[in-house]
Amino acid sequence: MLDFTFATPSELCKEIASRVKAQRMRLELSQPELAQRAGVALGTVSGFEKTGKATLETLLRLVVALGLTKELEPLFLQKPTSIKELEEASRPVRQRVPRKIKRAS
């Protein structure tokens, strides 16, 4: 199993595709069956499993069709490791990035 910490984006794509394929196989679904359930073309499923390349929407359609949506919940959630981080997490989230101050030359 690939350690995501040190993987390149290309390696991550291939690993995720491999895991999607493994789940499809566990559920005993053929590629055409998964494509139909996900509402995508057969070539899309086949191409994704081979290359790991797909749009985010396609990946999400496959995840939903495979019943893996619960696996997405912890994605990008910040886990506070200190009281300070817990307090910061409870503050309202900024809607914009602060402007950079231009320095006079």
Q: Please write the tens of the pLDDT for every residue from 50-84.
A: 999 999 999 999 999 999 999 998 888 777 778 88
Of residues 105 and 33, more confidence is placed in 33
pTM attached to this predicted model: 0.74
8 A C-beta contact, residue 66 and residue 27: yes
Specify the DSSP class assigned to residue 95. S
Return the CATH fold of 4-90: 434 Repressor (Amino-terminal Domain) (1.10.260)
- Write down how long the chain is: 105
Band the pLDDT of 45: cuts 50, 70, 90.
Answer: very high
Average pLDDT over residues 97-105: 76
Q: What distances in angstroms separate CA 52 from CA 10, 43, 80, one per listed residue?
A: 8, 13, 32
Rounded distance between C-alpha atoms, residue 40 and residue 32, angstroms: 9
Report the largest interatomic distance among the alpha carbons of the chain, rounded to a whole angstrom. 66
Specify the DSSP class assigned to residue 40. S
Termini Cα distance of the chain: 52
Per-residue confidence (pLDDT) for residue 51, from 0 to 100:
95
Per-residue confidence (pLDDT) for residue 78, from 0 to 100:
73
8 A C-beta contact, residue 66 and residue 60: no
